[in-house]
Amino acid sequence: MRLTTIAASVALAAGLSSAVSSAVAADVEVLHWWTSGGEAAALDVLKQDLETQGVGWQDMPVAGGGGEAAMTTLRARVTAGNAPTAVQMLGFDITDWANEGVLANLNSVAEDENWDAVVPTALQAFSKHDGNWIAAPVNVHSTNWVWISKSALDEAGGKAPESWEELVAVLDAMKENGITPLAHGGQPWQDATIFDAVVLSMGNDFYKQSMIDLDMDALSGETMVEVFERMETLRSYVDDNFSGRDWNLASAMVIEGKAGMQMMGDWAKGEFLKAGQTPGEDFLCIRFPGTQGSVTFNSDQFAMFGQEGDADAQQKMAAAILSPEFQSAFNVVKGSVPARTDVSDGDFDDCGKKGMKDLAEANEAGSLFGSMAHGHAAPAAVKNAVYDVVTQHFNGGLSNEEAAEELANAVDAVL
């Protein structure tokens, strides 16, 4: 008996001391949350590219909550002193980590490849910190899209809405035709995605003041009350079962003609394509009425954690991410548009081409803004405070005036 006990404790000790070293020096270990079919396959292009350059790829996917689970993992890994070499990140998370001084400097590869000239300025706000490149953007998603069923629109008059009034008219016509006018899933980030677009439809200046500069007067003012009025109006076109619905199921409603349109970022396109639909013929992609010329974006980027011995592999990976070939190949699959403005749009479908054109224009005109709903307008604490209010209002818990006031309070409380 004593023997087995000793054996057990030996086994324990052996188990505890056999810490295995994880990554070989020339590898990159990549923490990301692109785990589903299309996007993971798109990332595989990058993996294979790197492998031809002799850089091995160790995959560390952690899905969930639009990257939230991965960020928790990252925090645990960094705390343990075992940071992955490259990490997918969004917006202010990059800035937060850069402030901790743990991200690797990518200036030399950025200079070689001339990133300063080709990456949209609004993206650089996140990819650069104190003038140094610290992240390589993979894509630009724009979030102020509306996806409309062609047949439902034809029955409702056939003309794509270009202003708020026209939008309401189309939604009314769809309602009369007996379908759900607006397919929507009641999850905080989806509510906020619509909210973003409505704020933007009040003008570029208002979006900048309220969502990016977090100006208290703009947040609680009359224009914001009007925003909430519009949210309330949109709410009346949503079916009763919207709450908690995944966005894909909302897309499916449009695909099947049960609903007229969905307000969602460009990743929704993948659902339509996968269902065998063609842009322009079966469905239309337009900017949220009143926002043509402006774009709210979120951008996935890869930041590198500074570690001895990995520098070469990291630089290679950063260069590969921003190569025009990968940018095109990846974004055709992902539904987003390239993070550099000089990539050919030859391989993209009509919606993709429009997305690239809109992005370039918005970049020139200074009307390319980070999306609040997707963490590119303000830090996480503010974003979630906005979610709280928008969701509560959308579910009928606050009046329009209360919501505007509460919005300013909630943002103020976490600043």
Partner 1 sequence: MSESTSDTMSGAIQHSSQGKRMTPARILLYAVLVLFAIYYLLPLYVMLVNSFKPLEEIRGGDMLALPQTWTLAPWQSAWSTAQIGVQATGLKPYFMNSIAMVIPAVLLSTILGALNGYVLTKWRFRGDGIVFGLLLLSCFIPFQIVLIPMARMLGILGLAGTTSGLVLVHLVYGLGFTTLFFRNYYAAFPTELVRAAQIDGAGFFRIFGRILLPSSGPIIVVSVIWQFTNIWNDFLFGASFADVDSVPMTVALNNLVSSSTGVKEYNVHFAGAVLAALPTLVVYIVSGRYFVRGLMAGAVKG
Partner 2 sequence: MKERLQLWVPKLVLGPSFLLILFFVYGFILYTGYLSVSDSRMLPSYGFVGLENYEKLWGLRHWTGSLKNLAIFGSLYIVICSVLGLMLAILLDQKIRAEGVLRPIYLYPMALSFIVTGTAWKWFLDPGIGLEQTMHSWGWTSFEFDWIKSRSNAIYTVVIAAVWQSSGFVMAMFLAGLRGVDPDIIRAAEIDGASRARIYRRIIIPMMRPVFLSAFVVLAHLAIKSYDLVVALTGGGPGKATELPATFMYSYTFSRNLMGIGAASAIIMLIMIFSIIVPYLYSELRADKQS
Give contact residues for partner 2 (rule: CB under 8 A).
65, 68, 71-72, 75, 78-79, 96-97, 100, 186-188, 239-245, 379-381, 384, 388, 391-392, 395-397, 413-414
Rg (CA), the chain: 23
User: If binding is defined by CB under 8 A, does position 173 make contact with partner 1?
Assistant: no
CB 210, CB 218: distance < 8 Å: yes
DSSP character string of 109-173: HHHHHTHHHHS-HHHHHHHEETTEE-EEE-EEEE--EEEEEHHHHHHTTSPPP-SHHHHHHHHHH
3 state DSSP class of 334: helix
CB nearer partner 1, residue 185 or residue 260: 185
Partner interacting with residue 193 (select from partner 2, partner 1, none; CB below 5-8 Å by kind) = none
Tokens in use for 156? 């409702």
In 3D, which of 379, 366, 372 has the Cα closest to residue 414? 379
Instruction: Report the alpha-carbon distance of residue 176 to residue 378 in Å, rounded.
Output: 39
CB nearer partner 2, residue 8 or residue 41: 8
Q: Report, in Å, the least distance between residue 135 CB and partner 2.
A: 16
Instruction: Report the alpha-carbon distance of residue 148 to residue 262 in Å, rounded.
Output: 7
Binding residues with partner 1: total (CB under 8 A): 61
Tokens in use for 6? 């000793």
Instruction: Report the alpha-carbon distance of residue 274 to residue 269 in Å, rounded.
Output: 9
3 state DSSP class of 139: strand
Q: Segment 300-339, which members bind partner 1 (CB under 8 A)?
A: 335
Among 195, 237, 267, 305, binds partner 1 (CB under 8 A): 267
CB 118, CB 300: distance < 8 Å: no
CB nearer partner 2, residue 100 or residue 130: 100
CB nearer partner 1, residue 8 or residue 25: 8
Among 60, 106, 171, 286, binds partner 1 (CB under 8 A): 60
Q: Report, in Å, the least distance between residue 194 CB and partner 2.
A: 15
Burial label for 58, CB within 10 Å (0-12, 13-18, 19+), is middle
Instruction: Report the alpha-carbon distance of residue 131 to residue 148 in Å, rounded.
Output: 42
Residue 232: CB atoms within 10 A of its CB come to: 15
Phi, psi of 336 (to 5 degrees): -90, -170
Among 81, 101, 178, 396, binds partner 1 (CB under 8 A): 81
**Maximal CA-CA distance, the chain:** 86
User: If binding is defined by CB under 8 A, does position 389 make contact with partner 1?
Assistant: no
CB nearer partner 1, residue 236 or residue 278: 278
Given the rule CB under 8 A, which of 2-10, 176-184, 190-198, 342-350 is the region that contacts partner 1?
2-10
CB nearer partner 2, residue 332 or residue 390: 390
Q: Report, in Å, the least distance between residue 47 CB and partner 1.
A: 5
Tokens in use for 403? 């919501």
Element (H, E) at 89: strand 86-90
Q: Segment 128-147, which members bind partner 1 (CB under 8 A)?
A: 141
CB nearer partner 1, residue 17 or residue 131: 17
Partner interacting with residue 384 (select from partner 1, partner 2, none; CB below 5-8 Å by kind) = partner 2
CB nearer partner 1, residue 80 or residue 117: 80
User: If binding is defined by CB under 8 A, does position 29 make contact with partner 1?
Assistant: yes
CB nearer partner 1, residue 37 or residue 158: 37
Q: Which residues bind partner 1 (CB under 8 A)?
A: 1-2, 5, 8, 11-12, 15-16, 18-20, 22-23, 29-30, 32-41, 43-44, 47, 57-67, 69, 72-73, 75-77, 79-82, 141, 246, 248, 252, 255-256, 265, 267, 270-271, 274, 335
